[in-house]
Structure 1
Amino acid sequence: MNSLTARPRPSELTEAADLGASLVIMDSHGRPPDRKNSPLGEFLRSRRASVGPEEVGVTSIRRRRVSGLRREELARLAGVSVDYYTRLEQGRHATASYAVLESIATALLLTPAERAYLHRLAKVPGTIRSPAPQNMRVRPETIALLNALGTTPGVVLGPNLDVLATNAAARRLYGDLDALAAAERNAIHWMLFHPDAERLHGDEWAEVAAEMIGMLRLRAGRALAHPDVRRLVQELGASSAFFRKVWAEQTVSTGSRAIKHFQHPEAGAIELIVESLTVKHAEDQTVVVLMPPPGSPSERSWRAVMARDPHAAR
């Protein structure tokens, strides 16, 4: 078993409880949490600490006690007052305009995924109220689409990367995900804890796993206080040091990886093109399609595998 997914020590369980501190809506006395620990504030602080002054042309004669930009330096780059930025980072400013957020994003050198995440976080002043229920039902039309893919693997993912449906080809690639216990039918859970995950992804395992954790953070966005999201984050953090590390780094990802490489027990080393489709009438669901490049050795190997499976095409 990977050392990063081994069973945690008691001290690690305490650390994991702290992991979800910013996701708690009320403390044990029924009071709101410290707003300095808001998801928006935590994200801004983490990104500010990651930007080297030399990257944005900032010079200073003062000795730096911490890494990254000072608040006053970032405020100057973004064209806002230090007081305004400080209040925004500490959760004491309810709203920020699109233009201001874009200026801050540019000053922080945010990626497109991080920009999207910043805007999602900033839309909510304080805690989340009456979160929408998670849409876990897959429409018959979507199931029909999966089956129509034939020998091409297809998976339906929910808003928290729960595995909602798979076709026969996906089960041939990943194993029977539908047969897993309900709590284990989650793409991140599978990547971190299933014995086949690291073998299947090989050298890309850590990179792909971190990308998936970043996808969860981006998808959750404003819904970080949703009970399902909070529970998932705390459960994964309680059992995986790798998850705790990546989550604490505020990693954000769109999951835009174009090609994934697999070490499949039957097909051998293959590469698959990854495409994601949003489901009509269920925009919080995504159909992920993994297709071997046409005419490639991967396509020939995968077709040979699927030819030995009488249930591949329906």
Structure 2
Amino acid sequence: MATDAHIGDFLRSRRARIRPADVGLPEYGRRRVQGLRREEVAQLAGVSVDYYVRLEQGRGLSVSDAVLDAVARVLRLDATEREYLYAVARPDRSGAGVPAVQDVRPGLRLLLDSLAGTPAFVLGRRMEVLGWNAPGDAVMGFSRMGPGTPDIPRHCFLDPASRTLYPEWPLVAAECVAFLRLAAARHRDDGELAALVEELSLLSDDFRRLWADHGVTEKTFGVKRLLHRTAGELAFSYETLRTPSDEDTLLVVYTPEPGTGTAERLAALTAGAVGAPPA
């Protein structure tokens, strides 16, 4: 059973985050690496140094749950990082197979359109925007993102306008890359996803730098701050919901706090957009 070669970069990046003192080890002598040494991880995980070295080098191993759990514990991986570790360590269990074509079901389309006055859109596994309602377009400008299916990664890294739209662009960019890295581990046979990563790595220094950080994250919930070209500053609470028919199809809903400036500006912005034809 072959281990993915990229596991080494991920494990090295994670052990670099942890100081020996954080795990009860003394810090003495000159350390050539930042964070924990490989032999220290092996000791704390209860495996031989040779075994851990082979794991980090991506050499063929049949890795047990117990070993992966121990390494995850030592490196203090969160739930998403732990899932990523399993996916790259045992690629045959990571959902291999040509991914199905994603689209917006009629029922989901109806749900989008029923959210009158509330920006909402549907994302695919590559963060392509599969559909949106009129308020979502009024806020995000999906219909202005050029021909073909718009997608968040290309807009974020290749369109200079994104740095104005997102006042917190560095955070948005890091989350975008971390979501793509997790998706790439889950869908190793998705050629279009691999091509997207290759394209952005070639065309964007920022993407290439963030990809090398090996961050992984789910898209869940939070606050999205925008600087709209006509409406000005907007701040939404957002929720990301997985659809029951395809867990890789995500419904994203932006909701303003009632009575805020965002709610007022959104109402004015969408007054002429609600009747517009959605995607």
Same fold (TM over 0.5): yes
Structure 1 residue aligned with 2:59: 92
Aligned-residue offset at 1:257: 4.6
CA contact (8 A) 1:153 1:167 kept: yes
Amino acid at match of 1:302: L
User: What CA distance in whole angstroms lies between the structure 2 residues aligned with 1:207 and 1:114?
Assistant: 18
Aligned-residue offset at 1:36: 8.5
- Bigger proportion of residues as helix: 1
1:259 aligns with 2:226: no
Structure 2 residue aligned with 1:67: 34
- Distance of aligned partners of 1:272 and 1:312 in 2 relative to their CA distance in 1, 3 Å threshold: farther
1:103 aligns with 2:91: no
Pairing 1:154-303 to 2, within 5 Å after superposition: 154-177=120-143, 180-182=146-148, 185-202=150-167, 204-224=168-188, 226-303=190-267
Number of matched residues? 277
Structure 2 residue aligned with 1:40: 7
Amino acid at match of 1:206: P
Structure 1 residue aligned with 2:17: 50
User: What CA distance in whole angstroms lies between the structure 1 residues aligned with 2:257 and 2:101?
Assistant: 32
1:137 aligns with 2:123: no
CA deviation digits over 1:17-75, x for unaligned, max 9? xxxxxxxxxxxxxxxxxx88712222112212232223222214332112121111011
CA RMSD of aligned residues (A): 2.5
CA contact (8 A) 1:153 1:169 kept: yes
User: What CA distance in whole angstroms lies between the structure 2 residues aligned with 1:78 and 1:112?
Assistant: 18
Structure 2: gaps of 5 or more residues:
none
CA contact (8 A) 2:99 2:187 kept: no
Answer 1 or 2: higher relative contact order, Cα 8 Å, separation at least 6: 1
1:121 aligns with 2:85: no
User: What CA distance in whole angstroms lies between the structure 2 residues aligned with 1:308 and 1:185?
Assistant: 22
TM-score computed with the length of structure 2 as normaliser: 0.90
Aligned-residue offset at 1:129: 9.8
Runs of 4+ in 1 over 3 A off after TM superposition: 176-179
CA deviation digits over 1:182-235, x for unaligned, max 9? 3x6221111112233111111x01111110110111122143453122211110
Amino acid at match of 1:196: A
Amino acid at match of 2:11: L
Percent identity of paired positions between Structure 1 and Structure 2: 38
Moved more, 232-241 or 132-141: 132-141
